[in-house]
Structures are given as C-alpha cells and as structure tokens.
C-alpha cells in the first residue's frame, strides 16, 4: 500500500515527521533517508543561515548561534516554526509528505502542534554520548572536541529547550551502527507507522 494512501486521514490531512535529537545523533541522516522516500525536506537551520547571509556575515557556527539567539530574543523561541508553517501548509495542501530536520525547542513543537495537531509526529534519534562525541570529532565539517561537544550539549539543554521534544517523541531510532543500518530502521519505521495508521482508519 502506498504511503500517500495510508497517510490520508480525515479532511485530507497528512502526517508531518519532525526529527529531534542531540548533536551528532544522526538527525540529518534520517531526514535524508526520508527524502529518498519522497518526503519534502524543511531544515530549520536554513532559515538561520539565510539570515546570517542577509546580514552580510560569514556562515560560521558562532555567527549562526548569534543570529539564532537574536531572532529568538526578538520574535520568540518558536521563530523557525513560524517561518516554516507557511511552507508546511503548502506542502500538505498539495498532498506531499513532509519531514522537518532541526526542530529544537519545546516552543517550536508547541507552535507546530497547535497548527498540525496529532498529525505532527516526533522521531527521536538516539546515539550513546561517547559515540556521538566521536562522530562529532571525526566529521569533516566543523569538528568538535569532546569538551566542545559536551559544552554544546549543556547549552542546548539549558538554553533552547531541546530536551522537551526529545522527551515527547512518538518514536525512537537507535543509531549505534552504520548509516545504512539507520536508513533500514527508518524505512521499517515507515512501514510500522503505515500499519498503525491503517488500523486506526479501519
């Protein structure tokens, strides 16, 4: 049975999947796996990068953090969700499947939940901390030392409400093996979710 047929619910609502997790957990890997399954991708971080460029700043981790905090201070912790909602609505009206990569704060989740209701599902990607830190240290783009990774963890938990959406997740993917294994788990989750939705409609 095709996903689109399974995911259609009353009033032609479609499910939106949001990927949550700590740095280095593998959120973007899961999002890219879903893109290969014909999901439309919305990266919250892209809104921040666009604003960094608009301010004629170099795209660096420090500038992204500064701009992100400035936008949240001016417009609320849910600013990325506010910017994403018109795009999400457009995709859903067209009958597209949507995956969000980079939902961080509880405020973002609450804003999306108010608009999308129970059609918004959270997928938490979990990787043991030691393995996350190793992956962050080994990545070619902006690697982090163990001390830097731990500092970032604490900042995200304390300052940007990141633990809330993880705690409220509907599904958990354990990422302690290869990228291919994580994609296999993601595809299996879609199959399981499709069966669940089909049973609800039966």
Per-residue pLDDT tens listing for the chain (202 residues): 233 333 333 334 468 999 999 999 999 999 999 999 999 999 999 999 999 999 999 998 889 989 998 999 999 999 999 999 999 999 999 999 999 998 989 999 999 999 999 889 999 999 999 999 999 999 988 898 999 999 989 988 988 889 999 999 999 999 999 999 999 999 999 998 887 766 665 5
Q: How many domains does one find in the chain?
A: 1
Q: Does residue 29 lie in a domain region? A: yes
Q: Which domain holds residue 63?
A: 3-187
Q: Does residue 169 lie in a domain region? A: yes
Q: Does residue 102 lie in a domain region? A: yes
Q: At what angle do helices 44-54 and 61-75 cross, to 10 degrees?
A: 100
pLDDT at 9: 34
Q: Does residue 90 lie in a domain region? A: yes
Q: Does residue 168 lie in a domain region? A: yes
Q: Does residue 198 lie in a domain region? A: no
Q: Which two tokens stand for residue 108?
A: 């973002």
Q: Does residue 201 lie in a domain region? A: no
- CATH number of the domain within which 55 lies: 3.40.50.300
Beta bridge pairs of residue 41: 99
Q: Which two tokens stand for residue 117?
A: 């209701």
Q: Does residue 195 lie in a domain region? A: no
Q: Which string of b and e fits 76-101 if b means at least 16 CB within 10 Å?
A: ebbbbbbbbbeebeebbeeeebbbbb
- In angstroms, the CA 158 to CA 150 distance is 12
């Amino acid at each position: 049975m095709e996903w689109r047929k399974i995911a259609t619910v009353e009033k032609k609502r479609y499910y939106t999947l949001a990927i949550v997790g700590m740095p280095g957990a593998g959120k973007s890997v899961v999002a890219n796996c879903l893109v290969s399954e014909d999901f439309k991708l919305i990266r919250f971080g892209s809104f921040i990068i666009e604003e960094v460029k608009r301010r004629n700043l170099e795209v660096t981790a420090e500038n992204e953090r500064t701009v992100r905090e400035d936008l949240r201070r001016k417009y609320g912790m849910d600013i990325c969700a506010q910017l994403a909602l018109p795009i999400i609505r457009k995709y859903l009206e067209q009958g597209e499947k949507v995956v969000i990569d980079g939902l961080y704060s509880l405020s973002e989740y609450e804003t999306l939940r108010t608009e999308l209701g129970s059609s918004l599902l959270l997928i938490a990607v979990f990787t043991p901390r030691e393995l996350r830190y190793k992956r962050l240290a080994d990545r070619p783009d902006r690697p982090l030392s163990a001390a830097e990774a731990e500092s970032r963890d604490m900042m995200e938990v304390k300052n940007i409400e990141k633990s809330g959406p993880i705690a409220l997740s509907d599904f958990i993917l354990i990422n302690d093996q290869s990228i291919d294994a994580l994609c296999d788990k993601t595809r299996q989750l879609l199959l399981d979710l499709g069966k669940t939705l089909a049973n609800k409609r039966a």
